[in-house]
Amino acid sequence: MPKPIVLIAEILSPATIDALGGDFEIRQTEGADRSQLLNDIVDADAILVRSATQVDAEAIAAAKKLQVIARAGVGLDNVDVPAATSAGVMVVNAPTSNITSAAELTMAHILGSARYFGAGNTSLKAGEWNRKKYTGVELYEKTLGIVGLGRIGGLVAERAKAFGMRLVGYDPYITQARAAQMGVEVVDLPGLLAVSDFVTVHMPKTPETTGMISTEEFKAAKPGARFINVARGGIIDEEALAEAVAAGEVGGAGIDVWSTEPPEHSALMELDAVNVTPHLGASTAEAQEKAGVAVAKSVRKALAGELVPDAVNVAGGAIHEDVRPGIPLAERLGRVVNSLADSSVTHFKVEVNGEIADKDVSVLKLSALKGLFRDVVSDQVSYVNAPLLAEERGIGVELVTDPYCESFRNVTRLTATTSEGQRISVSGTVTGPKLVQKLTEVNGFDLEIELTDNLLIFRYEDRPGIIGQLGQALGANEINIAGMQVSPSATDNDALSVLAVDSAVSEEVVKAVAGAVNASAFSGVSLNED
């Protein structure tokens, strides 16, 4: 079998390749070269990027086998996450890999702008000795305004405190208690601008944050304040900043990120009081190693069909080892429900009973949903888009847990209602050291039969000789029976037979056998992988 293809679209730490291991065919491409990317992504199972590769809807549509997009870093503004979700592609990032490096570069820019590092460096190298011109300010007892008090904002606060700075912050999405923990006084944006000697931004780029600091904010700011952007280009409007610095309203700036990268003809390049870096926030050996190894591990998991804690478009997280065997079972039970449904499912319930009920079993709901759709949707169905497919079809989905389970350690029961009012229920369990999957109930009939790849299910009126008739009809159609369970109804005169057969049986033959025993309900279930 060919190895899955992992496409590396930007320069990543060599540790990334080591952490991927030998199970993949590793290919390199130049993510910033659009035509090369669109060509090379076609047969990739996974793509690894930093910030220069645009994995947008067009690239995702071009990728015929893609299962995971891995961003070796924090920001996801170069990945179209909704398009990936619709296509069933998992998106993972490495949310903590480079935050220390980004916070340290922020401190470098704060210090650099306080002390004219860039201009002093250029001037001396040009043969000048301008000690007076580059007289700066201390950080001690100055006020730092932090806009965005998340992971990096928090690390900057910690470091700035060590310099004896007073901290104020603006972040409408965090609690006062969390800010207090960081030693930051929460104020509104005008309040922050009014008192800050330095302002640093640490938010994602969103419609709300784009251009959030612009002409009006510079006018409202404390005269001579310095502005730092190590978050995303355009959160601080570059043109307005250049004008405010040139006009002397703003004392200086440190800019690592740009609205267009690389920046084209920015007036900021001409200003002595502005230090610039080419998006170096994450460019340290440590950050690159951490990011590469983290996404390599996530890619391994994702391509093994597992949920990934760092996935941003799928509810996931750590899966308890006792829950793990239930994942393929739930998917196969979902496929059985789909086979039994005569019309579209409108309500779907996943019940998890037994010892695992006190664990996080939400993955079993995702897996059951994946099974429900996998034989009916032509696109790839994954943990990522299965909930979206249910939502788009207006299917109500419930997950119910109960630690009580009468006959087995754990049972997963799926019940569905269809648009025609049909009610379906299917239960299963995993038993023994070999983790054998068993079907334990179908539509209220108790059973215990291995959930093999090809099953036939017939419901009929129980009468003497019926089993013989069923066997005869199957034999006449050259169907080999590998196992069989007959379950009489507890409430009426019906019985249900589930037969494990050697290979998939055509609908026509299942119908013919059902006719021979006058079955009131019947189904051929095929759980083959292709």
Ligand X SMILES: NC(=O)C1=CN([C@@H]2O[C@H](COP(=O)(O)OP(=O)(O)OC[C@H]3O[C@@H](n4cnc5c(N)ncnc54)[C@H](O)[C@@H]3O)[C@@H](O)[C@H]2O)C=CC1
Catalytic residues: 232, 261, 279
Query: What's the min distance (Å) between Cβ of 84 and ligand AKG?
Result: 17
Distance separating alpha carbons of residues 85 and 131, to the nearest angstrom: 56
Residue with tokens 């060599």: 14
Q: How many CB atoms lie within 10 A of CB 385?
A: 26
Tell me if residue 192 falls in helix, strand or coil. Answer: helix
How far CA 467 is from CA of 213, 419, 459, in Å, comes to: 79, 33, 12
Binding to ligand X by CB under 6 A, coded x per residue (else -) over 387-426, reads: ----------------------------------------
Q: Is 256 in the site for ligand X (CB under 6 A)?
A: yes
With beta carbons less than 8 A apart as the criterion, state whether 167 and 160 touch: yes
CA angle 397, 401, 403 (to 5 degrees): 165
With beta carbons less than 8 A apart as the criterion, state whether 160 and 140 touch: no
Q: Is 54 in the site for ligand AKG (CB under 6 A)?
A: no
Query: What's the min distance (Å) between Cβ of 292 and ligand AKG?
Result: 10
Q: Which of 99, 236, 323, 337 binds ligand X (CB under 6 A)?
A: 99
Q: Is 298 in the site for ligand AKG (CB under 6 A)?
A: no
- 184: Cβ contacts below 8 Å, ≥ 6 apart: 146, 149, 157, 167, 168, 169
Query: What's the min distance (Å) between Cβ of 50 and ligand AKG?
Result: 3
Given the complex with ligand AKG, which of 295 and 341 has the nearer CB atom?
295
Q: Which stretch binds ligand X (CB under 6 A): 278-286, 314-322, 421-429, 436-444?
A: 278-286
Q: Is 171 in the site for ligand X (CB under 6 A)?
A: yes
Distance separating alpha carbons of residues 22 and 75, to the nearest angstrom: 28
- State the binding partner of 441 from ligand X, ligand AKG, none, CB within 5 to 8 A by kind: none
Q: Is 78 in the site for ligand X (CB under 6 A)?
A: no
Given the complex with ligand AKG, which of 10 and 197 has the nearer CB atom?
10
Query: What's the min distance (Å) between Cβ of 444 and ligand X?
Result: 49
Q: Is 283 in the site for ligand AKG (CB under 6 A)?
A: yes
Helix (H) or strand (E) holding 427: strand 423-431
- State the binding partner of 149 from ligand AKG, ligand X, none, CB within 5 to 8 A by kind: ligand X
Query: What's the min distance (Å) between Cβ of 401 and ligand X?
Result: 31
How far CA 319 is from CA of 165, 293, 308, in Å, comes to: 43, 20, 9
Q: Which stretch binds ligand X (CB under 6 A): 197-205, 355-363, 438-446, 453-461?
A: 197-205
Residue from 505, 403, 382, 418 nearest 453 by CA: 505
For residue 236, list its beta bridge partners.
213
Given the complex with ligand AKG, which of 201 and 282 has the nearer CB atom?
282
- State the binding partner of 50 from ligand AKG, ligand X, none, CB within 5 to 8 A by kind: ligand AKG
Query: What's the min distance (Å) between Cβ of 186 and ligand X?
Result: 11
Q: Is 281 in the site for ligand AKG (CB under 6 A)?
A: yes
Q: Is 369 in the site for ligand X (CB under 6 A)?
A: no
Query: What's the min distance (Å) between Cβ of 223 and ligand X?
Result: 23
Residue with tokens 């200086």: 252
- 530: Cβ contacts below 8 Å, ≥ 6 apart: none
Q: Which stretch binds ligand AKG (CB under 6 A): 108-116, 155-163, 280-288, 386-394?
A: 280-288
Omega before residue 14 within 30° of 0, cis: no
Distance separating alpha carbons of residues 41 and 9, to the nearest angstrom: 9
- State the binding partner of 87 from ligand X, ligand AKG, none, CB within 5 to 8 A by kind: none
Q: How many residues does the chain have?
A: 530
Q: Which of 5, 53, 59, 75 binds ligand X (CB under 6 A)?
A: 75
Residue from 461, 460, 455, 425 nearest 443 by CA: 425
Query: What's the min distance (Å) between Cβ of 225 and ligand AKG?
Result: 24
Q: Which of 165, 230, 295, 498 binds ligand X (CB under 6 A)?
A: 230
- State the binding partner of 148 from ligand X, ligand AKG, none, CB within 5 to 8 A by kind: ligand X
Give me the residue whose beta carbon is nearest to ligand X.
150
Distance separating alpha carbons of residues 193 and 185, to the nearest angstrom: 13
Distance separating alpha carbons of residues 470 and 481, to the nearest angstrom: 11
Q: Which of 13, 85, 200, 209 binds ligand X (CB under 6 A)?
A: 209
Distance separating alpha carbons of residues 39 and 57, to the nearest angstrom: 15
With beta carbons less than 8 A apart as the criterion, state whether 517 and 495 touch: no
Q: Is 151 in the site for ligand X (CB under 6 A)?
A: yes
Q: Is 152 in the site for ligand X (CB under 6 A)?
A: yes
Residue from 77, 47, 82, 52 nearest 62 by CA: 47
Q: Which amino acid is at 344?
A: S
Q: Is 234 in the site for ligand AKG (CB under 6 A)?
A: no
Q: Which of 31, 73, 233, 234 binds ligand AKG (CB under 6 A)?
A: 73
Q: Is 98 in the site for ligand X (CB under 6 A)?
A: yes
- State the binding partner of 170 from ligand X, ligand AKG, none, CB within 5 to 8 A by kind: ligand X
With beta carbons less than 8 A apart as the criterion, state whether 117 and 110 touch: no
Spell out the alpha helix ranges (H) of 266-347. 285-303, 326-340
Tell me if residue 355 falls in helix, strand or coil. Answer: helix
Q: Which residues bind ligand AKG (CB under 6 A)?
A: 50-51, 73-75, 98, 281-283
Q: Which residues bind ligand X (CB under 6 A)?
A: 73-75, 98-99, 102, 147-153, 170-174, 202-204, 208-209, 230-232, 256-257, 279, 281-282
